[in-house]
Amino acid sequence: MTDFNDLIHGYQRFRTSEYRRHRDRWSELSEGQSPRVMVIACSDSRVDPAQIFDTVPGEIFAVRNIANLVPPFELGGGRHGVSAALEFAVTQLEVGEVVVLGHGSCGGVAAALSQRFKGAAPGAGGFIDHWVDMLDDARERVVSEYGTGPEAIRALELETVRVSLRNLRTFPCIPEREAAGTLKLHGAYFAIADGVLHVMDDSGEFAPA
């Protein structure tokens, strides 16, 4: 298992290989960033968007959280980390595209489906519950159709993408830029078991890329 010492050894390899090989790129990036794409992904250690999309530093602006969720535009509620990152990417960096990336075997989705942290105190699962409860409506629909088995898990994993895309459009800066043609939203889903990326179409359905 990787520990902090392993991370330091990894840094030393990076410093003598990748950093040296792309020295000009890093020098350029030290002056600023201008990514064209924002990716909203899960914090899960298995789904690093930079690796999945094979990007180099400076190409994507990424925010990661439990179950790749975007909260709706709200003034209260205390869930503004994603909102701040979104605001920065869209209004300051002026990215042209935002991708919501869901994935298979998502622990956040499993928690939402099982409601295992329902009623838990903050610090003992309550923060998790208050985050994944954004999926409560979708969960109700999924459970009524699939129950709580493997099909339900996959269905709710896909719903995280649809829910986040709907919530994105509650931010005034999003629809106005979509209407102007300066911003596009995309949904995608990475199936860890087979390594296949599925892309969402305009009707909300997913198909392999």
| CA 106 – CA 68 distance, rounded (Å) | 10
Q: Are 130 and 111 in contact (CB under 8 A)?
A: no
Q: 3-state class of 56 per DSSP?
A: coil
- How high does pLDDT run on average in the chain? 96
Reported confidence tier of residue 1, pLDDT bands at 50, 70, 90: low
Helical (H) or strand (E) element with 188? strand 184-191
pLDDT digits (tens, 9 = 90+) for 152-189: 999 999 999 999 999 999 999 999 999 999 999 999 99
Counting Cα atoms < 13 Å in the Cβ hemisphere of 50 gives 12
What is the value of pTM for the model shown?
Answer: 0.95
- Torsion sign, CA atoms 19, 82, 142, 136: positive
Token pair belonging to 168: 């994105």
pLDDT digits (tens, 9 = 90+) for 81-140: 999 999 999 999 999 999 999 999 999 999 999 999 999 999 999 999 999 999 999 999
Q: 3-state class of 139 per DSSP?
A: helix
pLDDT digits (tens, 9 = 90+) for 46-57: 999 999 999 999
Q: How many CB atoms lie within 10 A of CB 113?
A: 24
| CA 36 – CA 53 distance, rounded (Å) | 14
